[in-house]
Structure 1
């Protein structure tokens, strides 16, 4: 005779089972909510001081927003349509791209070369690593004064040096290409060391075993640099390219102070080095006070930065992968 034992579960047994203690529930809530609370201040500040002003600027660009007038009528895309036919605007776009190319490309290449030198076994490496950052922490006004004297037409050291080799003096402020070179030289002097330190920090994270193995296989220094260092630095190179693109296309202080004696906001006597940010400032504030038109210029600058940054990232990725 088999004995069958049946275990019957009462209907309210599961409901009467004790739940987790309050301390456990608080700990679980803290683990889920605390990461969002830690990052919340950034998003709150970005929303208040970043996203909202950006959206509001877009709204302003759709109006005839005279700062001295009480009414701001809605005009739609009229500001952008006017911008497309504005010769001074396209002049500033060409100036911005010209200064950006002349300054950014040599800057990044020189920074990569300096970082590679500082990554070797050199005497007083700490001194040189600290020294290349001095231009970046120097006041922009002081840098503009010094470079303004160096590129002075009558008494500048640059023209004096050119005269020694038989080249006539150059008016660095009244010549368009010359003003690009002068402003780009100032920008390169300030920011090359900063990018070099970023490249150097990334180079020091590359395992030394890769270089030792390449040396055993017969790779020379250049081959090691091109086949190991550059591919391993791809994320850092992309970061520096994007940051340099944003900074180069938003150039304002250097050309403004460089032309301090010759109508600075116009970038020289005939807008030789007026960038898009300077043109935006000229229209949004003194002397025009047309905030709607200035906002349209700002959004065109935003679009240009996005396009150039995307193109740079694609090119850097293809070059680092060995593609054409």
Structure 2
């Protein structure tokens, strides 16, 4: 019995870290969300659920929800397709130099988001932007017809999604490659004997076997997508983050939270309500994904046997 108690000693640092750095901030944020803490109310008087009611009438918050989901969906769907497709290609034995390809595709994930945002600000600039200069040099557009990438809601929103896809599809690809390599070759051999082609084997064997990794990628991408801040913030540099114009199309929930907490009247009570609403949103959608995939996972063995 005395020996078994040492286990609690070893896990104690984790629980202390969890309590101080995770549970306490969540509970304190929840508490602040019921106060009017701001520059005008530095003592944070109790306001009940008025901050949560305000969420449903705040046009910037409602717009930020739409923007956040749109940016994530436009980024994630091609990310998933490219990652799984390239993983399937690079795990084939006949591919030469796949280690090099792995490194090249994963490299963007090693660069900080702020650095990537600054880089693409330079590339997409109007007068001296690299992409505009290349288009002019190739005579695709005239000098006077340079594209205002960062001044167009469509272009700047699409650019953020493309940048996020570029940064993360290599990371997802590495995870899928690891999952595909772990699939026993006996499954494919048995399927080939039964007359299954490569496409059928992929859908009936590979996809069911990598489902846990697909769930992991989906949930981590969803959490990252709903907490998206760095790239849109840097891309909207110098513009009114809480106003209209092109930056309105990349105003995410975390950007709006930042605006409320650290600019203007510093409405930190309301910002806490936004943060807790975001926490609940992530929690609910993660649970939905877990339950949905758990039900589908029970059919994995049947799918494999049905090849």
Q: TM-score, normalised by structure 1?
A: 0.82
Residue in structure 2 matching 1:185, options 156, 162, 179: 162
Partner of 1:139: 112
Q: Please, what is the CA RMSD of the aligned residues? A: 2.7
Q: Is contact 1:83–1:89 with CA below 8 Å preserved after alignment?
A: yes
Alignment of 1:227 onto 2:199: no
Partner of 2:223: 246
More displaced 10-residue stretch of structure 1: 197-206 or 140-149: 140-149
More displaced 10-residue stretch of structure 1: 213-222 or 87-96: 213-222
Residue in structure 2 matching 1:57, options 24, 29, 38: 29
CA–CA distance in structure 2, aligned partners of residues 185 and 282 of structure 1:
25
CA–CA distance in structure 1, aligned partners of residues 61 and 283 of structure 2:
18
More displaced 10-residue stretch of structure 1: 94-103 or 300-309: 300-309
Q: Is contact 1:267–1:273 with CA below 8 Å preserved after alignment?
A: no
Q: Is contact 1:104–1:244 with CA below 8 Å preserved after alignment?
A: yes
The count of corresponding residues between Structure 1 and Structure 2 is 294
CA–CA distance in structure 2, aligned partners of residues 205 and 157 of structure 1:
43
CA–CA distance in structure 2, aligned partners of residues 317 and 106 of structure 1:
24
How many Å apart are 1:155 and its aligned residue? 5.1
Partner of 2:267: 290
Partner of 1:33: 5
- Taking a change above 3 Å as real, the CA distance of residues 319 and 105 of structure 1, as seen in their structure-2 partners, is farther
Q: Is contact 2:241–2:248 with CA below 8 Å preserved after alignment?
A: no
How many Å apart are 1:265 and its aligned residue? 6.7
More displaced 10-residue stretch of structure 1: 55-64 or 140-149: 140-149
Deviations 1:187-242 (A, max 9, x none): 01111111111111111111111111212222222111111111001111111110
Q: Is contact 1:62–1:74 with CA below 8 Å preserved after alignment?
A: yes
Residue in structure 2 matching 1:151, options 102, 124, 127: 124
How many Å apart are 1:137 and its aligned residue? 0.6
CA–CA distance in structure 2, aligned partners of residues 177 and 304 of structure 1:
26
How many Å apart are 1:170 and its aligned residue? 5.0
CA–CA distance in structure 2, aligned partners of residues 267 and 51 of structure 1:
36
- Taking a change above 3 Å as real, the CA distance of residues 269 and 102 of structure 1, as seen in their structure-2 partners, is closer
Unaligned 5+ segments in structure 2 are 301-307
- Taking a change above 3 Å as real, the CA distance of residues 312 and 92 of structure 1, as seen in their structure-2 partners, is same
Residue in structure 1 matching 2:140, options 164, 184, 189: 164
More displaced 10-residue stretch of structure 1: 240-249 or 173-182: 173-182
Residue in structure 2 matching 1:130, options 99, 103, 108: 103
Unaligned 5+ segments in structure 1 are 1-27
Partner of 2:20: 48
How many Å apart are 1:294 and its aligned residue? 0.3
Q: What secondary structure sits across from 2:26 in the alignment?
A: helix
Partner of 1:16: none
- Taking a change above 3 Å as real, the CA distance of residues 224 and 170 of structure 1, as seen in their structure-2 partners, is farther
Describe how 1:1-324 pairs up with structure 2 within 5 A.
Answer: 28-30=1-3, 32-67=4-39, 69-121=41-93, 122-154=95-127, 156=129, 164=140, 171-263=148-240, 269=246, 271-314=248-291, 316=293, 321=299
CA–CA distance in structure 2, aligned partners of residues 253 and 217 of structure 1:
51
Deviations 1:262-284 (A, max 9, x none): 33576965512110000000001
Q: Is contact 1:153–1:172 with CA below 8 Å preserved after alignment?
A: yes
Q: What secondary structure sits across from 1:164 in the alignment?
A: coil
Deviations 1:55-108 (A, max 9, x none): 000000000011574421101101111121111110111111110111112112
